[in-house]
């Protein structure tokens, strides 16, 4: 998905064909991609969408009919989208919003219903958790991403998830992982910038001429002898 989004030249058609064969085989074996884990469907829908495929017609059932991943995995999923935790609902919303996929009439799960279920799961501290009662940094980030297209009616909830306390948790999370992974974050949040090693900005001192500026915060701390 990341390579496709970056425009890398890869064999996406071959990957899609292999993934479609996997879907067909799973349906032949058990009649579904997964009866309990809705995220198996959602992650497949996201991948197919990113690689230019059609998740509404992807794979073949034993009776020869086409598999509709959106219907089977979200709109009319046989189980409960949130049974495995809040991530099931979040991934489902990301999946149906990955393209201009119409919501069928009389769907068991609707966009509005999924959005409301995620909103209702927000913890008192503004964050979101995999299970009720405890906020989690990565689940909060996923929830904010999923709810972002609905900000016009969920501004209060999204802003609460991005308050200083939760931003601090996010920054600490990135800092703990930065020893093994490099992160590039686009932000205006003070707490996130304070945790960065290097800040980059773009200025236009001359009309039509942009210039990239950088500040190495570690070097600044060293030169100013800040402890």
Predicted local distance difference test score (pLDDT) of residue 176: 83
If one counts every other C-beta atom within 10 angstroms of the C-beta of residue 60, the result is 17
Q: What is the DSSP letter of 71?
A: I
Per-residue model confidence (pLDDT) at position 187: 83
What integer is the mean pLDDT of 29-47?
95
- Which of these ranges, 29-33, 61-65, 136-140, has the smallest mean pLDDT? 136-140
The pLDDT confidence band at residue 1, using thresholds 50, 70 and 90, is low
Q: What angle do CA 76, 157, 167 make, to 5 degrees?
A: 115
User: Would you say 46 and 101 are in contact if contact means Cβ atoms under 8 Å apart?
Assistant: no
d(CA 172, CA 168): 6
Percent of the chain with pLDDT over 70: 96
94, pLDDT greater than 90: yes
Question: What would the two tokens of residue 200 be?
Answer: 């980059």
Q: What is the mean pLDDT of the chain?
A: 89
> Would you put residue 106 in left (φ > 0), alpha (ψ -120 to 50) or beta?
left
- pLDDT of 38 strictly over 70: yes
Residues 40-65 have pLDDT tens digits of: 999 999 999 999 999 999 999 999 99
- Give helix then strand counts, H and E, for the chain: 11, 2
Structure tokens at 101: 């996929």
Q: What are phi and psi of 113, to 5 degrees?
A: -70, -40
- pLDDT at position 82: 94
Query: How much helix, strand and coil, in percent to the nearest 5, is found in the chain?
Result: 50, 10, 40
The mean pLDDT of 78-89, rounded to a whole number, is 95
For the cut 70, the answer to whether the pLDDT of residue 128 exceeds it is: yes
pLDDT digit string, tens, across residues 6-21:
677 777 889 999 999 9
- CB atoms inside a 10 Å sphere around CB 16: 17
Residue 4, pLDDT score: 65
């Amino acid at each position: 998905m990341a390579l496709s989004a970056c425009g890398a030249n890869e064999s996406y058609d071959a990957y899609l064909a292999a993934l479609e064969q996997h879907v067909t085989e799973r349906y032949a074996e058990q009649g579904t991609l997964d009866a309990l884990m809705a995220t198996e469907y959602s992650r497949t829908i996201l991948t197919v969408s990113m690689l230019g495929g059609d998740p509404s017609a992807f794979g073949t059932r034993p009776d020869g009919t086409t598999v509709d991943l959106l219907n089977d995995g979200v709109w009319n999923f046989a189980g409960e989208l949130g049974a495995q935790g809040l991530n099931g609902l979040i991934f489902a919303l990301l999946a149906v919003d990955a393209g201009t996929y119409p919501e069928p009439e009389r769907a068991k799960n609707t966009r509005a219903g999924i959005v409301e279920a995620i909103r209702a799961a927000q913890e008192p501290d503004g964050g979101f958790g995999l299970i009720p009662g405890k906020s989690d940094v990565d689940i909060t980030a996923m929830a904010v991403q999923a709810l972002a297209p609905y900000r016009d009616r969920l501004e209060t909830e999204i802003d609460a998830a991005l308050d200083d306390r939760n931003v601090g948790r996010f920054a600490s999370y990135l800092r703990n992982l930065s020893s093994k992974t490099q992160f590039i974050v686009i932000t205006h949040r003070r707490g996130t910038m304070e945790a960065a090693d290097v800040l980059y900005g773009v200025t236009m001192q001359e009309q039509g001429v942009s210039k990239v500026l950088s500040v190495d915060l570690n070097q600044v701390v060293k030169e100013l002898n800040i402890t």
